[in-house]
């Protein structure tokens, strides 16, 4: 380990990207996320960190995505992607937070030296990083700061341009598996679209076409991906894209997108002209990794089909295929959820399959899902995917079917492994997956929705003085701090029929989230607002304004 950190280059670049004194950054649920205007130093340091992560992993390509996903347009953020396309290893999240908070260039260099020593990084190894950004106006300057970080370590960078988060994850895995027996796909956008659309076309071949699907692109980077995939899908699926204004200031995620639909429990006003009775539609979020469906019934009433409903639909379909392929004694399907999963969905699923509950954040769900031969994971907010373990994949490839029906089911399972982006939740891949199941089952939104009836629920945000004062346990279902607050929540919950509520600090916004459900809608609302009141009273003071 003779190579040394290029201190001089790092110093020179670092001085161009000073850390703002008054802010403490944290690598949270999905990386660093706050106002884009304060992230310059973080992006530079993430560039250096990504290069070191690659060196540590023997020159494997690391991914970096510049996005704030569902957050408002002035926000931005950055997250790192490990070589198999999964989220950054947890221990390195701590390193990222330490580096981001070093006050000065000398402190930053000292933190780097400590990291190199403790993580035993061989600096003579090459460093390779692939990176992309979403459509936010602050993106180009932040990418430039990030590139300075790569330059400081003389790392090899590949700019994947403006693209979705799931495509970046796909690229990382494809680059790192190129030429191996686990080759994931061609390492290009074209490879991604060909792979997904190819799997979809095989799966729906011979099935009656579904009516066109309205797709709300949240005025974000998903617009471009939807436009492109339309070309690859041909007649196999008709999409009607709306909210495609990627260059209109302030339009991103504004009264549209998956988070708007899930949180406000209504469809985006801009989608209204396309919604008639029976019409199904879906919304992506700002970086196209979340998906929420909805439809209007014959009385023009809105019904939401969220991540829980997607999990139920997809898990049941895969279980049926595994059985039809004659593999049910060998391949078990399991589901992973978070505390936000609707109580009815958990009941429906646990009656049929093994179900695990983990803390919020795709990284937690992903790792838990890896323990199942087929792991279906979805957050209620529409973020999720399906994982086929390497053993399952091999079984599917080597299994000899004994009847034509088994052979068809087996081929469908193999096509699913192509259609599904197994690196991370992917709105476009998930949309094709849902459309596949609907086509196979001849379901409209109504039949899908009738799998189980959601318990009325309400999600609210509370701005508090210090959200870091809120600590949780039991997969975020109970508060351990502030002291005594959980007992007061428990007392309130007891008064509501079917009541359930929990409180947790957001890892992507400067708020505390309160979730509540109850048998009656007005009661769920009431419970949510009362718990929010408790939270606010507990922390008191003026709500903190966000850093300028």
- Catalytic sites, residue numbers: 69
Cβ closest to ligand G16, residue 36 vs residue 445: 36
513 is an annotated ligand-binding site residue: yes
Ligand-binding annotation for 508, yes or no, is yes
Build a one-symbol-per-residue string for 383-402: x at contacts with ligand G16 by CB under 6 A, - elsewhere: x-------------------
Element (H, E) at 376: strand 374-378
Which alpha helices (DSSP H) does 257-298 contain, by range? Answer: 257-264
Peptide bond into 358 cis (omega under 30): no
Q: Answer yes or no: is 380 a known binding residue.
A: yes
30 counts as binding ligand G16 under rule CB under 6 A: yes
* DSSP string for 78-94: EEEE-TTSPBPPHHHHH
Please answer whether residues 263 and 459 qualify as being in contact, where contact means their C-beta atoms are separated by less than 8 angstroms. Answer: yes
Find all residues with CB under 8 Å of 531, minimum gap 6, and list them. Answer: 489, 492, 501, 503, 514, 516
- SS3 state at 546: coil
Is 287 annotated in a binding site? The answer is: yes
Q: Which of 14, 29, 163, 385 lies at the binding interface for ligand G16 (CB under 6 A)?
A: 29
Write out the two tokens for 416. Answer: 């699913």
Interface positions, 324-383, toward ligand G16 (CB under 6 A): 360-362, 379, 381, 383
- Does 506 bind ligand G16 (CB under 6 A)? Our answer is yes
| Helix (H) or strand (E) run with residue 386 in it | strand 384-388
CA dist., res. 367 & res. 200, Å (int): 26
Q: Please tell me the distance from the alpha carbon of residue 376 to that of residue 516, in angstroms, as a whole number.
A: 24
Give how many residues touch ligand G16 by CB under 6 A: 18
Instruction: Note whether 360 and 503 are within 8 A (CB).
Output: no
* Using rule CB under 6 A, residue 509 touches ligand G16: yes
Structural element, H or E, at residue 363:
helix 362-369
User: What binding mask, one character per residue, do residues 465-504 give for ligand G16 by CB under 6 A, x or -?
Assistant: ----------------------------------------
Nearer residue to ligand G16 within complex by CB, 204 or 427: 427
Peptide bond into 482 cis (omega under 30): yes
Closer to ligand G16 by Cβ: residue 377 or 452: 377
Under the criterion CB under 6 A, does residue 507 sit at the interface with ligand G16? yes
Q: Closer CB to ligand G16, residue 70 or residue 195?
A: 70
Residues with Cβ within 8 Å of 102's Cβ and at least 6 positions away in sequence, in order, are 19, 45, 108, 110, 111
Closer CB to ligand G16, 267 or 515, in the complex: 515
Q: Which residue is listed with tokens 């409180």?
A: 503
Residues 259-318 that bind ligand G16 (CB under 6 A): 285, 289-290
User: Taking the complex as a whole, how short is the minimal distance between the CB of residue 361 and ligand G16, in angstroms?
Assistant: 4
Q: Per CB under 6 A, does 70 bind ligand G16?
A: yes
Q: Which residues bind ligand G16 (CB under 6 A)?
A: 29-30, 69-70, 285, 289-290, 360-362, 379, 381, 383, 506-509, 513
> Which residues fall in the annotated binding site?
69, 285, 287, 289, 379-381, 504-508, 513
> Which residues fall in the annotated binding site for substrate?
379-381, 504-508, 513
> Which residues fall in the annotated binding site for Mg(2+)?
69, 285, 287, 289
């Amino acid at each position: 380990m003779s190579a040394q950190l290029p201190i001089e280059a790092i110093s020179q670049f670092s001085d161009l990207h000073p850390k703002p004194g008054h802010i403490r950054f944290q690598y949270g649920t999905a990386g660093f996320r706050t106002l884009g205007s304060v992230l310059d130093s973080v992006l530079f340091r993430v560039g250096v960190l990504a290069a070191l992560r690659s060196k540590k992993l023997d020159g494997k390509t690391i991914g970096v995505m510049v996005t704030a996903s569902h957050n408002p347009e002035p926000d931005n953020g950055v997250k790192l992607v490990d070589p198999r396309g999964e989220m950054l290893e947890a221990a390195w999240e701590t390193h990222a937070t330490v580096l981001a908070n070093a006050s000065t260039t000398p402190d930053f260099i000292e933190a780097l030296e400590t990291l190199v020593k403790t993580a035993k990084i061989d600096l003579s190894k090459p460093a390779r990083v692939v990176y992309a950004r979403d459509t936010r106006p602050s993106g180009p300057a932040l990418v430039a700061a990030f590139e300075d970080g790569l330059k400081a370590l003389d790392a090899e960078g590949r700019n994947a341009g403006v693209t979705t988060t799931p495509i970046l994850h796909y690229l990382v895995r494809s680059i790192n598996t190129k030429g191996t027996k686990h080759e994931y796909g061609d390492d290009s956008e074209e490879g991604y679209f060909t792979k997904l659309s190819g799997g979809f076309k095989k799966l729906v071949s011979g099935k009656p076409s579904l009516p066109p699907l309205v797709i709300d692109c949240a005025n974000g980077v998903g617009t471009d991906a939807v436009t492109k995939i339309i070309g690859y899908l041909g007649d196999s699926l008709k999409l009607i894209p709306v909210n495609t204004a990627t260059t209109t200031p302030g339009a991103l995620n504004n009264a549209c997108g998956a988070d708007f639909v899930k949180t406000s429990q209504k469809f985006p006003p801009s989608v209204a002209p396309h919604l008639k009775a029976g019409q199904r539609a879906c919304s992506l979020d700002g970086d196209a990794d979340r998906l929420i469906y909805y439809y209007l019934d014959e009385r023009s009433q809105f019904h939401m089909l969220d991540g829980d409903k997607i999990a139920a639909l997809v898990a049941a379909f895969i279980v049926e295929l595994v059985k039809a392929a004659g593999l049910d004694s060998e391949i078990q399907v399991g589901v992973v959820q978070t505390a936000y999963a609707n109580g009815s969905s958990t009941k429906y699923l646990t009656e049929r399959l093994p179900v695990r509950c983990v803390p919020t954040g795709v990284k937690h769900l992903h790792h838990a899902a890896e323990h199942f031969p087929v792991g279906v994971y979805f957050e209620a907010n529409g973020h999720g995917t399906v994982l086929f373990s390497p053993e399952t994949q091999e079984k599917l490839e080597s299994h000899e079917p004994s009847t034509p029906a088994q052979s068809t089911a087996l081929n469908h399972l193999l096509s699913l492994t192509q259609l599904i982006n197994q690196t991370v939740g992917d709105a476009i891949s998930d949309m094709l997956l849902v459309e596949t199941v609907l086509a196979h089952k001849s379901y409209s939104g109504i039949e899908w929705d009738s799998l189980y009836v959601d318990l009325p629920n309400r999600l609210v945000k509370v701005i508090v003085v210090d959200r870091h004062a809120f600590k949780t346990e039991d997969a975020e279902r109970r508060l351990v701090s502030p002291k005594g607050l959980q007992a007061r929540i428990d007392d309130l919950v007891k008064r509501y029929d079917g009541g359930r509520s929990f409180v947790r600090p957001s890892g992507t916004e400067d708020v505390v989230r309160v979730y509540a459900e109850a048998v009656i809608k007005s009661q769920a609302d009431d419970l949510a607002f009362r718990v929010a009141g408790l939270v606010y009273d507990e922390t008191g003071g003026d709500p903190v304004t966000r850093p300028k």
